[in-house]
Every structure is written in structure tokens, then in C-alpha cells.
Chains A and B, each alone.
Chain A
């Protein structure tokens, strides 16, 4: 009796030890197969010469790919452009998103419609966004053509093929899509600000600016920090919009680092070098993210 009870208890304990793993297994398997394995293979190929069209040169390369990256002017150019692109995009998206959020937080007639309109660009698929903007920028059917018809500007021009206009043309397209994201997150926090705080501030005779600095900003700060980080990472990794709108051109004028990776790996079949570039981008992003979170002290607020 006692032995069978002990055996039973032991079996039950074994079962119970086994359960959590079984329950985690599906998620763990998926993460292993679809996340860890691909990431690990990128690190592996970064140390290889691997070009499917030049198989005779394939083999272990050590750190050759990374040495080549350090001397690759295109890498540094694309990195510099990526930095500029992220700063300008996130900065403008934050400003526009904040203004939009503050506007639609007011009560006025037709607010629901305006809110839906403000958020709609975010709901549009990326590839659709670029199609819309490509039609707008198209020299023979877009805005430029109709402006030329009205006598403004000249025929056969496109913002996407100018020397400086290209940058601002793609910035505008991405801004159109990205600003609503800030607006949504900021608006959500704005709605949680208790109205009596503003009423108390009114009693104390605070102005609009004072109310924003002392009440609104502290409430939305966290949302802004998170949104800026997310948008920063997304803009860094932005491929779809730039790839379809400009393909990184003209020249290399709009080539971000991930776009350079795409060109190297997908078009040139040089997966070794492409993987090494990806590893570098990964490390840069990880370092910047840690630095950013420390600077904004997000972690400390949580505890």
C-alpha cells in the first residue's frame, strides 16, 4: 500500500514535471524553427564565402566579409543614409503624430470621421502605399503632369528623379504612413489623463503651454518613448517603401543598409557578404536600442 502510494506520487510528480514542457513545446518549436534557426544561419553564412552563382569560390571565409565591410564605401554611405533617414522620419512622424493626436483629442463635430481619416493611412498595406505614391509621382500620369498642364513646373519631371527632391519625396510618403502610428499611441494615453487635472490647472490659472508641459507631457511620455523606439527600428529596417519607390536610387541616394543587404543577397546572390552586413546591422540596432532605453530610463520606471 505504502509502496504503491509512493510510486503513484512519484509518477504524478514525473507527469507534472513533464507538463510545462509539453505546453511550451509548440511555441518553443515554432521559435526554434522560424526564429532561432534562421538567425543562427545568418551568423553562420556571415563567416562563409557563399554565392550560389559562383560555387567554386564558396567556403569558409573567417572574418574576411567583415574586413571587406569596413573598407566598403557603400556600406558607410548606406549606414549614414540610414541614420539620416531614421532621424528625419522619426522626428517628423513624432511632431506630426503629436499635433494630430492633440487635435483629434479635442471635441468637435465630426470627430469620429476625422479620427478614422487620420488613422486610415496606417491601415493601408505597405505595397499599396507605395503604389499610391508612385502614381502621384509618375511623370506622365501623376501630380507633376497636371501641374505642367496648368503651367506650373515642366513636363517629364518626377520628384523621384531629382537630385535632392528624391529624399524629401520618399520622406513624405513614409511620413504619410507613419505619423498615424504615433497619433494612435499618443491619443490612447491622452484619453487616460483625468480631466480634473486640467480643471485644477485652470483654477490655478495655468496657460495652454503650462498645462501641456506639466500634465499632458508626463502622461504621454512613455507612449512617445516606446513609439519612437518602435518606429526607429522599423524605419531602420524599412525595405518595402524604398525598394518599390526608388530601389535605392537614383545613384545610391536612397539606399539604406537593409536595402543594400537586399541588393547584395537577392540580386547578386552573394549571401555570404549579405549575411555579414545583416549581422552588422543587427549589432548596431541592438546597441542603439539598449543605449536609447538607458537614456530614456524606461526600464527604471517599470520597477
Chain B
């Protein structure tokens, strides 16, 4: 039977193995294509003429910032012929996922722009290169603000320097000067002034609210900004590792803060993130906004600078001032970069007077370079000037967030938020909320202390 069919179509049968081989080859090629398509390009590839190309990933992609960063890169490239930097902007709210994937697949770039709050997660994965030796050898310790270096080191679980302390943020309370004038109020000088103003500025019938409370993503830094200085508490943990979140003064301050919701804020603030808050403030829906100094350039793009006031840090009942939101933002390099010397040159540039001055000014951040701090543009910016002055004032304490705790970000960002929203909705009491989460933070801190010993 088989034989007969063979003699009926001899030529087709002879060609078959050929077709099979070709099909297999095609299949292999396809599969290979599909596999290579998934991999990223190798970082830090060197060009044929010995030119080094560094890849920079930015964690905070906004049009203005991207433009500034590209300009910074241009300045660097002009000074360092032979080194090229390519820029890739990652989405602000999900950059960590992309970086985690890159670490897992060993396809990290050379350079990154992390925040201090990202360091512990990155260091735990062994992703970043420590900079201490290079920093000391370059003599940067004398040229960069000491407190910023310390804050940056404190943010890493092992106390090493993983990021150039290029710039720093600080918290600020913005207020509409024109609204204040209309109701006959002066600049807020105490917490009482602040709460009175929030109620007085509110006119629900015309869609104006005194304040905008952050109920959505990133609620915690703002909660800290508005509660801890009010309570006069300047640390997250006591000596024994217990959290101060359920400290009676903190609970009382938090209750006052939560009391603003719906009485002096929009109901929709329950889910507001920073974009929603800034939009509300600039669109004339809210009279006051708590955020970092970094949003000043954005705000004054829409509102007249004359209409925007920046409140000086408000003192607690005992007269002391607690400063929050002093988060350094800088540049880091990855451990598996093949051009670490070139990458370090870029990191140095971000701390040098030329690079640091441009970058801090364009971003609206406090510069880390001590010479830049004295430049005239810092004195001329109301928000920066206030922040720098506040940092140097007597009777001031800094509240540093425990970014060295690997769980800190996920507890305060992801885990606490749903409960916080329930607090705002009145389904959970402030005291219960703070007691529950104080216990979780205490557990994390004590575990960390035990490991450190």
C-alpha cells in the first residue's frame, strides 16, 4: 500500500524531508526572534571608535523635567567628549516595576535617578554601586551639604552612600494670597491660623475649598507633613524601636487634620493623588495645598507668583519646629554597569557647581553643592529661600523618614492607604488606625534593629 503510493508520487515524496528541515529552520528562527525580542539591549555598550554610551533611566517623567534632564546631559557631553548618555523616561507611578524586572533579568542601565525612599529596595537587591570611596577620593565631602549626605546615607539599610546628594526636597504649604486678602487674613504663622483659614476660605456653594487633603496615592508624606510638626514629634521611632505613630500628641494632631475632610475639602479628595491636588489648587478649587517645594515651578506656571504664598514652617505648641520632607534626590549608578568610571564622571557632574546649579534651579530643588547654595537665584526664589533658611534656623529638628526599612515604603504606600481612606470616610477611628499601623512599623523596626546587631 505504502509502496504503491510512493510510486504514484515519487517526486513529492523525495522532496519531503527537505521541506521538513526548512520548516524546522524557519521555526527555530522564529522562536529565536521571539526570544531575542524580549531581551533589552546591553547597557553601557562601547562604540567602535571607543566612545562610551551610558544609559540613564529617569524615574519621574514629566515633560519639563525630561527637557531639563536632557539639557543637563548635553552640558555633560560637551564637557566629556567620548561619553554619550542616552535618556529613557520611566512612568512616575510604576518605574519600580520596570527596574525590578531589569534587575531580575540583569538588564539594568548604567545610571538612575532614584529618590532616597527607593534606596532600600534597590540596595536589598544588590543593584546599586556604593559610592563612598569615590565620593571621599573626589573630595566631595567638603563641597556638598553635610546634612544631605547624612540623610542620603541614612536612607540605605547599610548606611552607605548609594546616590549623589545632588538636590533635596522640602515640604511646603502653599496658599492663595488673593483669597487670604479677600477674607482679611495674614500669612499663617501658627497651626491655629492654618485650621481657621481652611474653614474660612471654604465656600462650597461656589466650589471653593480651603484645603485639599491627600486621600489617594502618596497620602503618607503629606500626613507626616501636617501631623508630626503639629504634634512636635521629630522621630518615627523611640530608642526601643517602638513607633511614635500612636503617640498621644500625634493622635490628637491627626484627628484635627482628618477633621478637615469634607468640612474644608472636597469630598472627592478621598482619592486625590498629587496630580489631582495640584490641579485643584491651580484651577482655583482649593485655597491651600501641602506639597513639596518641587511643585512651585509647576504651580507658578498657571498662577501668578504674586497670588501664591509659601507659609514658613509652623511651630508646635512648645515652640519648636519640626521640618519634614527633606528627601534627597540624586543620581546613582548600577553595580552591573560596564562603564562605572564614565558613570561616576556623570555623577560627579551632577554635584559640580555647573551641573548642580543648572539642575537644582531648573527643578526647583535645594542644591546640594555648597557654592551653589550661595548663588543669587536661590535667594531670589521665595520657596527655596524659605526652605534653606528654615533648615539653618535654631530650635529646628529634622524628621527623617525611615527609608532604610525595606518594608517602610510598602507599609506606608500600599498597606495603609485603604485604611486611611476608611478613616476619612468615618468607618475607622483615627486612634485605631494609628495604633494598628504603629504596631506594624514597630515590628519592622525591631526586626531591623535585631538584624543590625
Q: Report if A and B associate in a common complex.
A: yes
B92 at the interface (CB under 8 A from A): no
Q: Mark A246-257, 1 if CB is under 8 A from B, else 0.
A: 111111100100
Give, as a whole number of angstroms, the nearest-CB distance from B402 to chain A: 14
Which residues does chain B contribute within 8 Å of A268, judged by CB atoms? 410, 414-415
A60 at the interface (CB under 8 A from B): no
Q: Are the C-beta atoms of A15 and B268 separated by less than 8 Å?
A: no
Interface residues of B in 402-453 (CB under 8 A from A): 406-407, 410, 413-415, 417-419, 421-422, 424-425, 427, 451
Q: At the interface with chain B, which of A21-29, A79-87, A204-212, A228-236?
A: A21-29
Closest to B14 in A: A12
Q: At the interface with chain B, which of A61-69, A98-106, A149-157?
A: A149-157
A287 at the interface (CB under 8 A from B): no
Report the separation of the CA atoms of residues A140 and B424 in the bound assembly, to the nearest whole angstrom: 20
Q: Are the C-beta atoms of B125 and A52 separated by less than 8 Å?
A: yes
How many contacting A-B pairs (Cβ < 8 A)? 131
A303 at the interface (CB under 8 A from B): no
Q: Are the C-beta atoms of A55 and B419 separated by less than 8 Å?
A: no
Q: Are the C-beta atoms of A251 and B421 separated by less than 8 Å?
A: yes
Closest to A29 in B: B31
Additional pairs, 10, CB under 8 Å, beyond known A12-B6, A54-B407, A156-B285: A19-B16, A25-B27, A54-B406, A154-B204, A157-B266, A157-B268, A249-B216, A249-B421, A250-B271, A251-B422
Option from B27, B125, B280, B451 in Cβ contact (under 8 Å) with A29: B27
Option from A29, A53, A251, A263 in Cβ contact (under 8 Å) with B425: A251
A289 at the interface (CB under 8 A from B): no
CB contact under 8 A between A250 and B285, given known A155-B204, A156-B207, A268-B410: no
Q: Are the C-beta atoms of B410 and A269 separated by less than 8 Å?
A: yes
The total of chain B residues at the interface (CB under 8 A) is: 59
Report the separation of the CA atoms of residues A52 and B100 in the bound assembly, to the nearest whole angstrom: 8
Report the separation of the CA atoms of residues A15 and B283 in the bound assembly, to the nearest whole angstrom: 74
Write the residues of chain B forming the contact surface with A, with a CB cutoff of 8 angstroms. 2-3, 6, 13, 16-17, 20-21, 23-24, 26-27, 30-31, 34-35, 97, 100, 103-104, 120-121, 124-125, 204-209, 215-217, 265-271, 279-280, 283, 285, 406-407, 410, 413-415, 417-419, 421-422, 424-425, 427, 451
Q: Are the C-beta atoms of B204 and A251 separated by less than 8 Å?
A: no
Which residues does chain B contribute within 8 Å of A139, judged by CB atoms? 266-268
Closest to A54 in B: B406
Q: Mark A149-169, 1 if CB is under 8 A from B, else 0.
A: 000001111101111000000
Closest to A155 in B: B207
Q: Are the C-beta atoms of A156 and B20 separated by less than 8 Å?
A: no
Q: Are the C-beta atoms of B406 and A251 separated by less than 8 Å?
A: no
CB contact under 8 A between A140 and B280, given known A25-B24, A268-B414: yes
